[in-house]
Structure 1
Amino acid sequence: MDARRELVIERVLRCIELVPAGRVASYGAIAAICGIGPRQVGSIMRHWSGDLAWWRITNASGDFPGDLLDRARPHWEEEGIAVKPNGLGCRYADYAADMGELELQWREATADLPDPDADDLDASA
């Protein structure tokens, strides 16, 4: 894997780690903070988020596809996130993390990382 890809993955994982218990963030919100697309966030989560609180990252409606909600429910119950009446997820407006605060924390958490767009990134790896 090239240095840029590794750096993007690290930046996304650090952002996911910062979503507080009892709150959720959408793939799109994480993507906006990290400067990538929501599908990239989903792909990174699919491969590298096993030890993270993946249940805190939903789609923009607060929903999960398929069996993920069943797997997320115990975590949500523990954190006080209620499933909305349609049974597909949570009310995003009620449980969304403060994106401004999340971005500030993420900037601090990634301050030690190089800029993924730096021209000399591959040369320094």
Structure 2
Amino acid sequence: MTPDEYVEAVLEVVDLIPPGRVMSYGALADALAERSGRASARLVGAIMARHGGGTAWHRVVNASGGLPPRLAAEARVRWLAEGTPLRQDRVDMRAASWRPGEGM
């Protein structure tokens, strides 16, 4: 898989995440690892920062359920609108985590 194909694959998975559910950067990288030969949460984060603006970017979070501070306020509004389970100002990862192949 070329770098451009990997970017497309990441964004395609993001588009599959149902409202109210999330994936961590690492889980998204793991979901594509076999197909892509890559398994880097940092690379997924970089892709989201550069190319994720047209996606439901708020559905991809860090392992503790948060986003960078500059995005947190807008993400919280979106999470609440979608009914995403929260614990304080972070996503409740136990309740909201999603993997490709799960029911939507």
TM-score by length of structure 2 reads: 0.85
- Alignment-mate amino acid for residue 96 of structure 2: Y
- The residue aligned with 2:13 is 15
Q: Secondary structure at the match of 2:69?
A: coil
- The residue aligned with 2:96 is 95
- The residue aligned with 2:47 is 44
Q: State the alpha-carbon separation in 1 of the partners of residues 13 and 100 from structure 2.
A: 12
Runs (4+) off by over 6 Å? none
Structure exhibiting the larger radius of gyration computed from Cα positions:
1
Change (3 A) 1:49 1:80: same
Matched residue count: 97
Change (3 A) 1:93 1:14: same
Q: State the alpha-carbon separation in 1 of the partners of residues 28 and 87 from structure 2.
A: 22
Shift of 1:8: 0.9
- The residue aligned with 1:67 is 70
Q: State the alpha-carbon separation in 2 of the partners of residues 18 and 82 from structure 1.
A: 18
Q: Secondary structure at the match of 2:87?
A: coil
C-alpha root-mean-square deviation of aligned residues, in Å? 1.6
Q: State the alpha-carbon separation in 1 of the partners of residues 21 and 12 from structure 2.
A: 16
Instruction: Confirm or deny: 8 A CA contact 2:66 2:91 kept in the other structure.
Output: yes
Shift of 1:39: 0.4
Aligned-pair identity (%): 34
- Alignment-mate amino acid for residue 14 of structure 1: E
Q: State the alpha-carbon separation in 2 of the partners of residues 100 and 54 from structure 1.
A: 16
Instruction: Confirm or deny: 8 A CA contact 2:19 2:84 kept in the other structure.
Output: no
Q: Secondary structure at the match of 1:101?
A: coil
